[in-house]
């Protein structure tokens, strides 16, 4: 119990430092924070623009939050220990990972939020790729609504081909309306993934237009 309490405090402390770092290095804007449940489990479904995304998605939240991380990242003892200290869950890419699924559901049942990146890899052009499925099972078993989270500006800040991020970049994180467990339960997994992809693309287009940017063409 003590170990878990210490992990919770350390996780919140690490998030505070990450928030300070981002505010010093970037022009941050957060929209829709009131859409995050005040208590209880939830799933953040986040588009994947850069290496910064796990930090960007969670730094403004007060809830306990855990993340998915590629299992190979845990092989480095120092970095692996750091990932474990912030309650990251290792996941094997490209295959069904039952251990990871069980770990996610366990976290949700404890009342934590879970941050997922349904594209499974960083974008190559800033666009949102079709989301992979699996949300309906996690939502039902963990009794957790899904909150669509749009990150915009992180691709321009740190695209895949660039070694370092660009200081001073404007980055916006927008939290959409939660999708209830009841609505998710009534949908097929592929249908929900398609709906969520469409919702996120619409959020992206609306945000980019409001900020004077050219929206991406998904036709």
Q: How many CB atoms lie within 10 A of CB 89?
A: 22
Identify which of 23, 20, 28 has the alpha carbon closest to the alpha carbon of residue 171. Answer: 28
> Contact at 8 Å (CB) between 148 and 196?
yes
Q: Residue 149: which of 134, 128, 125 has the closest Cα?
A: 128
Among the listed residues 153, 71, 67, the one whose alpha carbon sits nearest the alpha carbon of residue 112? 67
Cα 83 off chain centre by = 15
Contact 193, 131 (CB under 8 A): yes
Q: What's the CATH class of domain 2-210?
A: alpha beta
pLDDT, tens digit, 9 for 90 and up, residues 110-153 = 999 999 999 989 999 999 999 998 889 999 999 999 999 999 99
> What pLDDT score does 1 carry?
46
**How do residues 188-204 score in pLDDT, each as one tens digit?**
999 999 999 999 999 99
Enter the pTM of the model. Answer: 0.91
Of 17, 76, 49, 7, the closest CA to residue 159 belongs to 49
Q: What is the pLDDT of residues 142-185, one digit of tens each?
A: 999 999 999 999 999 999 999 999 999 999 999 999 999 999 99
Joined together, the tokens standing for residue 4 give 């878990």
């Amino acid at each position: 119990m003590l170990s878990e309490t210490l992990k919770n405090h350390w996780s919140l402390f690490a998030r505070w430092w990450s928030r300070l770092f981002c505010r010093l290095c970037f022009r941050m804007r957060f929209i829709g924070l009131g859409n995050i449940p005040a208590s209880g489990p939830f799933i953040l479904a986040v588009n994947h623009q850069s290496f910064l995304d796990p930090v960007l998605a969670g730094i403004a939240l007060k809830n306990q939050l855990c993340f998915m991380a590629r299992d190979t990242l845990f092989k480095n003892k120092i970095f692996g220990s750091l990932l474990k200290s912030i309650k990251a869950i290792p996941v094997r890419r490209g295959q069904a990972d039952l251990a990871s699924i069980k770990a996610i559901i366990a976290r949700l049942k404890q009342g934590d939020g879970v941050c997922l990146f349904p594209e499974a890899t960083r974008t190559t052009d800033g666009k949102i790729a079709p989301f992979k499925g699996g949300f309906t099972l996690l939502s039902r078993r963990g009794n957790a609504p899904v909150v669509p989270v749009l990150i915009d500006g992180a691709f321009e800040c740190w695209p895949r081909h660039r070694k370092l991020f660009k200081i001073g970049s404007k980055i916006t994180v927008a939290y959409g309306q939660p999708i209830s467990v009841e609505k998710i339960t009534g949908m097929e997994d592929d249908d929900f993934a398609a709906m969520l992809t469409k919702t996120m693309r619409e959020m992206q287009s609306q945000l980019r237009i409001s900020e004077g940017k050219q929206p991406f063409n998904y036709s």
